[in-house]
Amino acid sequence: MKYKMREIILEKLLEIEQTNQVKILFACESGSRAWGFASPDSDYDVRFIYTHPQNYYLSIDTQRDVIELPVNEVLDISGWDIKKSLLLFRKSNAVVYEWLQSPILYQSDESFHNAMLGMMENYFCTKPGFHHYLSMTINTFNNDLQSEEVKLKKYFYALRPILAAKWILDKQTVPPMQFHLLKVLIEDPKIQTAIDELMEIKKDADEKKRIKPIEVLQKFISETINYCELNKERLADKRTHIEPLNTFFRNTIQANDF
């Protein structure tokens, strides 16, 4: 099934290129399958970065910078124009930084991908990334994990971003995308065990699986939110220079003109 889905995804990406007259520079899995805690019925969240022919960028018209296919129960495919991607990269948009680290690649211009990876530490600003992940956790924790029964998957939608926020706060670097790499921040074996047990259940459970709240995880998430809130002043502002990205943008669209 996985092999069949990969072939379907590659066909869809080729169709996107032909229909929209674009070249896809990078395409990856961005959801729970890439994070490392997919359910059997998890959909495929495919994200990509693309470029138009060079003349497209020389128009005075406002150009659309997103391509999206209709979403169904299995496939969610969308992408951003390279200009939009680089603007968000400069702003430390956490989503772009995650895509570049995805362990599941469908299509990749190696020189483009390696160049983007090489620029991450120089352009990543801790404050916006930290607040993005902390906000995600707070919303999920308050809205989805306070009932008598909660969706199992919502624990991972709270744990992954709060660990990413803590990573940024403690290490002042780009947090890894994959959950197992973030888990190294957890020192308490009881919490590790609770998470490992949940992951085993999730492997065989559907996306709608509900469970009773797990006290040790409720406490850990709440305490880590508080820790992040109390220590966020440790994060420093950072200036980044746009000209290297302008040069990279120009070189990329010239190299991929068609």
For the chain, the structural domain boundaries read 2-123+239-255, 126-234
Structure token digits, residue 197: 């047990």
Residue 40's pLDDT is 85
> What tens digit of pLDDT does each residue of 136-151 get?
999 999 999 999 999 9
The whole-chain average pLDDT of the chain stands at 95
The model's pTM is 0.94
pLDDT band at 133 (very low <50, low <70, confident <90, very high): very high
Residue 79 forms beta bridges with which residues? 48, 67
**What are the beta bridge partners of residue 211?**
150
Please state the rounded mean pLDDT for residues 183-193. Answer: 96
- pLDDT (mean) for 202-214: 91
Strand 150-151 versus strand 210-211 pairing type: antiparallel
Fold for the domain defined by 2-123+239-255: Beta Polymerase; domain 2 (3.30.460)
Q: E strand or H helix at 25, and its extent?
A: strand 23-29
Mean pLDDT of 116-134: 96
d(CA 168, CA 234): 10
- Return the minimum-mean-pLDDT range out of 82-96, 125-139, 140-154, 194-208: 194-208
Choose between 81 and 258: higher pLDDT. Answer: 81
Backbone angles phi, psi at 123, to 5 degrees: -105, -15
Span 6-46, pLDDT tens digits: 999 999 999 999 999 999 999 999 999 999 998 888 899 99
Tokens standing for 76?
A: 């969610």
